[in-house]
Structure 1
Amino acid sequence: MDILHLSTSDIDNGGARAAYRLHDGLRSIGCTSKMLVRAKFSSDPTVIPEGSPLTKLGPPISGLPLRLYPKCNSSMFSTQWFPDVLAKRVSQFNPDIVHLHWICNGYLRIETLPKFSQPLVWTLHDMWPFTGGCDYNRDCEKYKKSCGECPQLESSRASDLSRWVWNRKAKFWQNANLTIVATTSWMADCARSSSLFKNRRIEVIPLGLDTEKYKPINRQVARELLNLPQDKQLVLFGAINSTSDARKGFQFLLPALQRLSVSGWKDQIELVVFGASKPEKPIDLGFNTHYLGRVHDDISLALIYSAADVMVVPSVQEAFGQTASEAFSCGTPVVAFDGTGLKDIVDHQQNGYLATPFEVDDLAKGIAWILEDGERQQKLRFEARQKSLREFAKEVQARRYLSLYEEIKGASVSEGFVKSS
């Protein structure tokens, strides 16, 4: 089976890392797998930069329509109108399956998708594929119809940029040989409720990771290497732009920590944050805080997870939540809200704690519940690691996808035979 993955990049963000991990997993079980990317950050020879002059122009020019909406966060909205040469490049590889991942930031034009002759699989790393341009809908449900009057554009017009993007997707994707894969049941339900994907086949396959790289490391050793205290309970929070992106939930973690601080935990807990550097004007979190900045390599991340007593992932919306599955693989229990993709990862009071959305008191209660009982914490750590091995190992994910590829390829060959006869 020959698979070609299309992804804007390979390892520089969550969606890219997820795509690369699948690519790596497929190769580990004997598949021929390559990645074609706009921006390459790894040294892996099976990751190929797309390389055309259009590649450099895509990101800045693709965002030009958003200048009509100056209040919109351009990093959260993508129009994908700028031309590309991907149909020609993909034909040169001639794979059995073209697997789409996160393809925004000026990489793959909406109109290009039906030009691929191969069956398509698309893994949903966010909601963009079935919205009018936003990566997450927040509280808006217009993607269930045809978008327009987009709150993220702060638009009051029905025929706005989001309606234009939605119309293009509806027109050019309607006859595509496309199978959708959601990483959690929540994302699958969102896709099924959308006007664009309601009639599509939608499967659920969790994201995978290398459980030999992400594995428990002696806590004392991990803390010594990271220069973290040995005599405190460490609460970990991490994400790209973890303290500035409201979707990541820092606004809930902050008051939860402050409440723990005044309820008897002040001298027992310290906080560790990765994905953000120490701000010029530090926020009073109620505890001493260690900022580790941006972390890219797997070994450093495994050390960080292993050093912590509990990982908190208070996201408002999350397609999956790789920081939670990574923490699990290192044997660290997770506290999260009982909503969106994270509820597929965390099993309440079995390997972590699911707090009532978005109740700060229950979030604080969950952190305390894990920390207050050492024997319980050890059981949670064991169960977290076992779930990772059972559900999130890269080989498990790869075999699930291989089964899907083979089914899709077989069906396509059969349909082609029927049509030609």
Structure 2
Amino acid sequence: MNVVHVNANDVSGGAARSCYRLHQFLLRQGVNSRLLVQHKRSIDPTVELIESWVTDTGLFQNIELVQRVFAAHNRTDISNTHFSVSLAGSDLSRHPAVEAADVIHLHWVASMQTPADIRRLMALGKPVVWTLHDLRPLTGGCHFPAGCSRFQDSCAGCPQLRHDPLGLPAAALRDQIALIDATSLTVIAPSRWIAEQARLSALLRDKARIENIPNGIDVDVFAPRSRAEARKELGLARDGIYILCGADQTEEKRKGFESLARVLCEVVHDPRFVSSGARMLWVGDPPTGQAYGDIPLIPLGRIPQEEQMALAYAASDLFLLPSLEDNLPNMLLEALSCGIPAIAYSVGGVPEVLHDGVNGRLIPAADEREFVQALLCLVGDASLREEMGRRARALASEAYAASTPGRK
């Protein structure tokens, strides 16, 4: 079988990592899998950088102007998550990998495929699968709607834009509905939450086949190992508690790091926290302008290698996920698979993997007081952390192995 994946990136970002893991699994199973990307960082020969998505310089400048003026610099305060104006892309219908493919699998394609481009792919008569890494395929521009449900109707009067004189989101959604034959799509929803959003959407409602298939991870890489050895390898102190946190694009409001800052400032002087000698390990770029009290913060930077990321989990006692809006976060799956209990808000697909009192603590959305109490409890109870960690590993290794999405 020949499968071609289409995604904006190969290894950068959560959607890219999920896509690349599936691509690698299929290759190991003997499937002739190819990945077409707009931005390539790996040296993998099975990943191909497509040609420039706009060859007309004047058109490119006009599109950039529209994106900048009517989207990027026109946002309200409710969200700063990416907002895509998909006005130009690449016609991949004649690409050799697409022509040879038995199955076309779209992933995060907002910056490289317009509805017209997708229509051309579907016109080839081949099965087209689209994985929802966020909600952009269902909306007129936003990637996460910040509580808005207008994508279920028309996307008119978008609350994420201050001014909308051109009616861009509504026009974009109309184009998607007119040009994409949803009855011919198979939609993969990594979480039950996003599957429900898809079933409610104006684009897919009562049309597309929607399957809930969680993203997979390599449970052999993301596995429990000696905490002492991991700390030694990372040059960390052997004693004390390490709390792991981090994300791509930490300045996004929906990632919840403003909320986390308030939580940490509450716990930092509590005797239970002080006596634990707790320190923060941070993956990615720590958010600027946030105060975390007097808690020592150790930046680990960006970690593209999965083996090194697994080492960071192994060195940690606890993982914090303060997201206020999310799908099925890779870092949560990875931490649980490494046997690290987590504390997170009950949003999106998080409750599908984090079970309160079983493999961590699941906190009502934005309930910072409850987050504080959960953090103090787990910081002060090593035996509870260990028991939750064992349950976390058992659940994750069974449900989220990389083979799961590939075989399904």
* 161, 185, 196: which one aligns with 1:189: 196
- Does residue 272 in structure 1 map to residue 273 in structure 2? no
Give the whole-Å Cα distance in 2 for the aligned partners of 1:123 and 1:151. Answer: 26
Give the whole-Å Cα distance in 1 for the aligned partners of 2:183 and 2:198. Answer: 16
Quick one: structure 1 residues 47 and 139, their matched pair in 2 at CA, closer, same or farther if it must change by over 3 Å? same
SS at match of 1:99: strand
* 69, 74, 81: which one aligns with 1:71: 74
Further displaced range: 43-52 or 16-25: 43-52
Count of paired positions = 396
Q: Once the two structures are superposed, what CA deviation does each residue of 1:277-297 show, in whole Å capped at 9, x if it has no partner?
A: 585x77243411112222211
Q: Once the two structures are superposed, what CA deviation does each residue of 1:118-165 show, in whole Å capped at 9, x if it has no partner?
A: 1111100000000011110012211111102112222365x6111111
1:205-224 correspondence runs (5 A): 205-224=213-232
Give the whole-Å Cα distance in 1 for the aligned partners of 2:176 and 2:83. Answer: 15
Give the whole-Å Cα distance in 1 for the aligned partners of 2:63 and 2:374. Answer: 43
1:2-401 correspondence runs (5 A): 2-52=2-52, 54=54, 62-69=63-70, 70-72=73-75, 76-89=82-95, 93-105=99-111, 107-116=112-121, 117=124, 118-155=126-163, 160-174=167-181, 177-199=184-206, 200-242=208-250, 244-264=251-271, 265-268=273-276, 269-277=278-286, 279=288, 283-400=291-408
SS at match of 1:228: coil
**C-alpha contact 1:305 1:332 (8 A) present in aligned 2:** yes
Give the whole-Å Cα distance in 1 for the aligned partners of 2:252 and 2:237. Answer: 28
Give the whole-Å Cα distance in 2 for the aligned partners of 1:29 and 1:217. Answer: 27
- Tell me the CA shift for residue 255 of structure 1: 1.5
Further displaced range: 213-222 or 202-211: 213-222
Aligned partner letter, 2:93: A
SS at match of 2:36: strand
SS at match of 1:27: helix
- Tell me the CA shift for residue 311 of structure 1: 0.4
Aligned partner letter, 2:117: T
SS at match of 1:259: helix
Q: Once the two structures are superposed, what CA deviation does each residue of 1:38-94 show, in whole Å capped at 9, x if it has no partner?
A: 122112111111135737979876443233323238971112221423111167542
Two-structure CA RMSD over aligned residues (Å): 2.2
Bigger helix share: 1
Quick one: structure 1 residues 56 and 369, their matched pair in 2 at CA, closer, same or farther if it must change by over 3 Å? farther
Structure 2 segments unaligned to the other structure (5+ residues): none
Aligned partner letter, 1:194: S
Quick one: structure 1 residues 121 and 82, their matched pair in 2 at CA, closer, same or farther if it must change by over 3 Å? same
Quick one: structure 1 residues 370 and 74, their matched pair in 2 at CA, closer, same or farther if it must change by over 3 Å? closer
Aligned partner letter, 1:275: G
Normalising by structure 2, report the TM-score. 0.91
SS at match of 1:54: coil
SS at match of 1:262: coil
Normalising by structure 1, report the TM-score. 0.88
Aligned residue in 2 for 1:415: none
Aligned residue in 2 for 1:416: none
SS at match of 2:186: strand
Aligned partner letter, 2:180: W
Quick one: structure 1 residues 65 and 353, their matched pair in 2 at CA, closer, same or farther if it must change by over 3 Å? same
**C-alpha contact 1:277 1:292 (8 A) present in aligned 2:** no
Quick one: structure 1 residues 284 and 175, their matched pair in 2 at CA, closer, same or farther if it must change by over 3 Å? closer
**C-alpha contact 1:25 1:397 (8 A) present in aligned 2:** no
Give the whole-Å Cα distance in 2 for the aligned partners of 1:214 and 1:227. Answer: 20
Aligned partner letter, 1:259: E
**C-alpha contact 1:347 1:354 (8 A) present in aligned 2:** yes
Give the whole-Å Cα distance in 2 for the aligned partners of 1:319 and 1:272. Answer: 23
SS at match of 2:119: helix
SS at match of 1:24: helix
Structure 1 segments unaligned to the other structure (5+ residues): 401-421
Aligned partner letter, 2:69: L
Give the whole-Å Cα distance in 2 for the aligned partners of 1:74 and 1:165. Answer: 19
- Tell me the CA shift for residue 241 of structure 1: 2.6
Further displaced range: 299-308 or 61-70: 61-70
Give the whole-Å Cα distance in 1 for the aligned partners of 2:334 and 2:34. Answer: 24
Give the whole-Å Cα distance in 2 for the aligned partners of 1:391 and 1:60. Answer: 46
